[in-house]
Amino acid sequence: MPQPKVKLVVTGDDFGYCERRNQGIVDCFRAGGISNVSLLVNAVSAKHAADLAKRYHIPIGLHANLSEGLPVSQELKGSTLLNKDGFFHGKMGFREVLHSGQLKMSEVEAELRAQVDRFFELIGHMPYHMDGHQHVHVLPDVREVFAQVLSDFGITYTRVPIEPGLRFCNFLPSHLREFNAQVEKDALESVEVFHRNGIRWPDVYLGLSTMVQQCSEQLLPTGYGRAHGASRISQSTSAGWMRRRTGRLFTVHRSTT
């Protein structure tokens, strides 16, 4: 009996991080290794990335960033989103400030809207999808604001990082297993919020168990095996030039069956 077709969408995250990564992501796209990209509009090479996306007609979404670098909004001086030096608090720092109750959701909303506006300025159209750098979009309170912003701008696709069989990935270091478990918990609690706002997402997400050092040709097939039965799979990856000395191009192998 023929097997049902499965659509695999492979997204190259952090587009705009630097010119070398941008070029590696483009090379992956042109080689057929990734399907689309997610742009960091506050990154130093965002304009370079945007120009490449337009040149090579790469489907592109917004990788909303509230945790690294400088804000896009010009109205956040002294904001709870920023540290004393004017930068975002970092991956764990953002979560600590949020959990302390000090983070103002009005400032989160202002920055998200500014990043959507900046995306439009760079690309010339609205993002095809929008998710959060380091999964901040599924965090408590943030997810409500995030969903409202998507709804207001008519952006209907996001990412819900719930990965089948993640608890069995014992090859991951303990600190990553703990972090990933919390991400999945937050993601599960985001489902009702996103659904209420008419936002859609693929059946299955892969990427928590294959972030950066864990992403390999040996581990990827195990992830696809855990996604058995899904009709649409979303795989995120930090595609690009991973090893400067050897010039090795990292790509994700795609399958449609």
14 in any annotated domain: yes
What's the pTM value of the predicted model, to 2 decimals?
0.84
- Structural domain range at position 184: 7-250
Q: State the Cα torsion 242-244-247-253 to the nearest 10°.
A: 0
Catalytic residue among 13, 14, 131, 186, which? 13
Q: Is 131 a catalytic residue?
A: no
Give ∠ CA 139-250-27 in degrees, rounded to 5: 100
82 in any annotated domain: yes
Q: How many CB atoms lie within 10 A of CB 167?
A: 11
User: In terms of C-beta density within 10 A (0-12 exposed, 13-18 middle, 19 or more buried), how is residue 120 classed?
Assistant: middle
The three-state secondary structure class of 243 is: strand
Q: Which two tokens stand for residue 186?
A: 């937050």
Q: Give how many domains the chain has, as a whole number.
A: 1
34 in any annotated domain: yes
- The pairing of beta strand 232-237 with beta strand 60-64: unpaired
CATH number at 232 reads 3.20.20.370
Q: Which two tokens stand for residue 43?
A: 């990154």
193 in any annotated domain: yes
255 in any annotated domain: no
67-119 per-position pLDDT tens digit: 999 999 998 888 999 999 999 999 999 999 999 999 999 999 999 999 999 99
pLDDT tens per residue across all 257 residues of the chain: 555 566 778 899 999 999 999 999 999 999 988 899 999 999 999 999 999 999 999 999 999 999 999 999 998 888 999 999 999 999 999 999 999 999 999 999 999 999 999 999 999 999 999 999 999 999 999 999 999 999 999 999 999 998 887 777 777 778 888 898 999 999 999 999 999 999 999 888 887 876 545 444 555 445 445 545 544 445 555 555 454 433 333 333 333 22
